[in-house]
Structures are given as C-alpha cells and as structure tokens.
Amino acid sequence: MATEPADAGMADADDPAEIFHDEWLLVRHSGETPEIALHAAIYHLSRAKDGPKLCLTPEQLQALRRAATERFAEIVLRDLCHANAGTAEYRGICRSIVNFRRFQTFSGRQGIEAGAYTDVRAEAAAALRTFLRREVAETVATGRPSLISCSHRELVAFAAELGLSDDLAPFALLCPRP
C-alpha cells in the first residue's frame, strides 16, 4: 500500500504541500518509468522555470524515492502474478526480469535503504516461486503451452538474483526452446 506524505490532503493548489503531493502522486503512479518520474518531479518542484522552486527537504526527497520504490515493486510483481496472465497489463516474466534489474540499478543510484530493497526482492522471490508452481500445475492439467517467456538460463539467473535456492531444473520444459 502506498505511503502518502504526511502533509497530503491539502486543497489549495498554490500550497507547496499540495504541489508536492501532486508530484508524489505522479511518481507513485508513474507506469513503467518510476525513476524518470522521480527525476521529473524533483526537477519540476525545485528547478523548473515554471515550477514552484521549492527547496526539498531530505524527508520530501525520501518520500519521492519511496514512491518510486513502491511503483517499481508493483511493476516487478505484476508480471509474476499468475492471475494477471491474459490481461492487458500482463507482460510476462521477461518483463519482470527487466524491471527488477532496473530497480536494482535505481536502488544503487538512489541509495535506497537495504530493507526496502530486500523487501521487494523477497516479495519477488515468493511471487516467482508461486507463479512457477501454478504454471506447472496448469500446463499439466490443461496441456496448454507455458506462459513462461524467458529461457531456462534467464529464469535460473533471475531466481539467483532474487535469492532463490530452489532447483529450477524441472521448469526447463516450460521455457521456450532457443
């Protein structure tokens, strides 16, 4: 769940707290590009010619970074949720891998606290494990082709990045053949 800044809820559009909150919302709900939204928000709030030219506090910067982290978690987990398969929002495990690696890079650049990074990583590991188990059960039961969009090598590498020590050899048959 999103952690909105403490000063959320003001009604005055000229109020610096309301302006900040609007930018926070843009970062938090930024689609596929939370890091770009973060930098755009910081630029608009503090340096843009037509912006409010706020002097952002460390707490405000941290709130914006948390919003981007929460959005990254959503887009990584979205594509590891088996129930999303077949929906317009689902992109597949390959996209989750890309987004998790973008999140890793973002975390390093932004100095995201270790706990937040570890939490996202643990959630992604659990989601991947659940996805794979469900995928095996469904492909066996229905005979439909697998939803797994990455190679076995990519799957194993992703699992290792997430800290999974599970033996993924049984899932090799679900991965597309090169």
Give pLDDT tens digits for 127-165. Answer: 999 999 999 999 999 999 999 989 988 999 999 999 987
User: Which has more confidence, 177 or 73?
Assistant: 73
Q: Which pLDDT score, from 0 to 100, does residue 83 have?
A: 95
166, 129 Cβ separation under 8 angstroms: yes
Q: What is the mean pLDDT of residues 108-129?
A: 92
Burial of 47 (0-12, 13-18, 19+ CB in 10 A): exposed
pLDDT band at 1 (very low <50, low <70, confident <90, very high): very low
The average confidence (pLDDT) of the chain is 90
CB-count burial class (<10 Å; 0-12, 13-18, 19+) for 139? middle
pLDDT greater than 70 at residue 81: yes
| Whether pLDDT at 38 is above 50 | yes
- pLDDT class for 170, splitting at 50, 70, 90? confident
Per residue in 9-37, pLDDT tens?
444 668 999 999 999 999 999 999 999 99
Whether pLDDT at 55 is above 70:
yes
